[in-house]
Amino acid sequence: MACKSKQPAPPAWQPDETVPGVRHPLEGLEPGNLLAFMALLGLLRALEMARPHWRSRSYWDVETHPWRPVLTLAGPQTQADVARAAAEGAHALLSPVEGICSTAAIREKQKAQGRVKEPEAEIEEAKKQGKPTKKLQGELNKQGKRANQLRDEHKTTTIAASYDDLEYLVGSQDAERESWVACLAAWVPGKDGRREVRSSPLKLTSGQQAFAGVFVTLARDCDPMEIARSLFQPWRYMHRGDSFRFDGAEARRYAYLAGDPTDKKLWTVPGQTGKGVAPSERGANILAAVGFRAFPVITLRHGVVIPGMGRKNHEWLSVPIWTAKGGRGATRAGIERLLWQGGNDNLPPRPDVLGWQRFRIFEISDSPTSKYKSVAYDGLIDSNDMAAAPPP
């Protein structure tokens, strides 16, 4: 009996390099997914940075199902051209964050070295008084170990722990750097007149997990192929590594793990790149990092918000779905202006806005010391604030 020959594996998907076009449906960016919306904003900003003469715009095609955003350009380009330009622009735009995290790491090391002096002085005083110094020596060793610890930029959790730290970062006369600082953290009035620092409401990771450092990791590896797959193909979640956790499906996969998330044997899976607990969409996270620039942190009396959030209820974030209305769609700046309307119920509806995707950002505590946030899609609200069915 003849043996059956194995069928050759299908060739890996590649972005089109032969047929240029001015209209590119973004099949990977689904509605009801905050990561996809952030990636769309990041794509437009990255192309604006790398290829301003393309005059990139976008709109949501709601005439066909399923709904998807469409990228429009002033002249014909291929999918591969779009991905390469997006990677180039993303790398240039994310580079200042590496400098911010490096400065934050230096600042933290200086503070740790300063804390060493306190137990040293206490030990000297105890010796003069003939008191035991064993406990103080243990504290000195502990503080010394922290002071000598290597601080990697890509492991930075927050850029500032205090108002003094925030002041240390600003004032560089670098507009790009200042803009990034404004999107990562802000100060709020605290108790007794003190100023406290709050991270962006879009910081969903828990206290010890990298947040600002994720930008550094993504900036160092802006892979055009990963970006192309996230834009033009259905998502396959083939990368394990740092992510912003804007995709609710990613948070659910993490929550439903059968094993211990700290078990590093679960961090590597054949066929997937990187190491991490839950798989994510790498290209979308790269573009979403750039999309952060649309969300500066706004200081209120008792907290912080971002564009798209209500001033009273900070749990809800509203982002638009807009149509072409006979044109090529909205520019990056036009979409960002719409975001400011999303958190204001008193403004009249816009004729080019079909509705608002509503997301809930809520805090989860799985132990007294471990708190993190997650995001869930709550449905589509039409532009007249009438409830509508979620998009197909």
- Predicted local distance difference test score (pLDDT) of residue 133: 74
C-alpha 281/C-alpha 271 separation (Å) is 14
In degrees rounded to 5, what are phi and psi of residue 271? 90, -10
Residues paired with residue 381 on neighbouring β-strands, in sequence order: 356, 387
- Predicted local distance difference test score (pLDDT) of residue 387: 39
Q: Write the pLDDT tens digit of every residue in 85-104.
A: 999 999 999 998 888 888 87
What is the sign, positive or negative, of the torsion defined by CA atoms of 231, 237, 240, 242? positive
Q: What percent of the chain has pLDDT over 70?
A: 71
Question: Residue 210 in contact with residue 242, Cβ under 8 Å?
Answer: yes
Is 234 in a helix, a strand, or coil?
coil
More confident residue, 234 or 8: 234
- Predicted local distance difference test score (pLDDT) of residue 371: 66
Question: Residue 93 in contact with residue 47, Cβ under 8 Å?
Answer: no
Residues paired with residue 279 on neighbouring β-strands, in sequence order: 240
C-alpha 321/C-alpha 317 separation (Å) is 13
State yes or no: pLDDT of 153 exceeds 80: no
| 118-127, 257-266, 312-321, range with the lowest pLDDT | 257-266
Residues contacting residue 292 through CB under 8 Å, at least 6 positions apart: 38, 42, 183, 184, 200, 202, 215
Q: Write the pLDDT tens digit of every residue in 15-70.
A: 989 999 999 999 999 999 999 999 999 999 999 999 999 999 999 998 888 999 99
Residues contacting residue 5 through CB under 8 Å, at least 6 positions apart: none
C-alpha 276/C-alpha 72 separation (Å) is 35
Letter string b/e over residues 354-366, b meaning 16 or more CB atoms within 10 A of that residue's CB: bbbbbbebeeeee
How confident is the model over 210-216, as a mean pLDDT? Answer: 81
State yes or no: pLDDT of 6 exceeds 70: no
More confident residue, 144 or 54: 54
Question: Residue 139 in contact with residue 201, Cβ under 8 Å?
Answer: no
Residues paired with residue 353 on neighbouring β-strands, in sequence order: 322
State yes or no: pLDDT of 119 exceeds 60: yes
Mean pLDDT of the residues in the chain: 80
C-alpha 85/C-alpha 227 separation (Å) is 10
For residue 261, give both structure tokens. Answer: 């998330």
Residue 130: which region, alpha, beta or left (left: phi > 0; alpha: psi -120 to 50)?
Answer: left
How confident is the model over 166-191, as a mean pLDDT? Answer: 82
Is 263 in a helix, a strand, or coil?
coil
Ordered DSSP codes for 94-159: HHHHHHHHHHHHHHHHHHHHHHHHHHHHHHHHHHHTT---HHHHHHHHHHHHHHHS---GGG-S-S
Helices (H), the chain: 34-50, 79-128, 134-148, 163-169, 175-184, 212-219, 224-232, 248-255, 282-291, 332-342
Strand 195-199, strand 279-280: pairing: unpaired
C-alpha 356/C-alpha 235 separation (Å) is 23
Residue 197: which region, alpha, beta or left (left: phi > 0; alpha: psi -120 to 50)?
Answer: beta
How confident is the model over 208-232, as a mean pLDDT? Answer: 86
State yes or no: pLDDT of 113 exceeds 70: no
- Predicted local distance difference test score (pLDDT) of residue 386: 38
C-alpha 50/C-alpha 38 separation (Å) is 18
Helix 79-128 to helix 34-50 angle (10° resolution) is: 100
Question: Residue 39 in contact with residue 287, Cβ under 8 Å?
Answer: yes
State yes or no: pLDDT of 137 exceeds 60: yes
pTM for the model? 0.84
What is the sign, positive or negative, of the torsion defined by CA atoms of 133, 135, 141, 144? negative
For residue 245, give both structure tokens. Answer: 């956790």
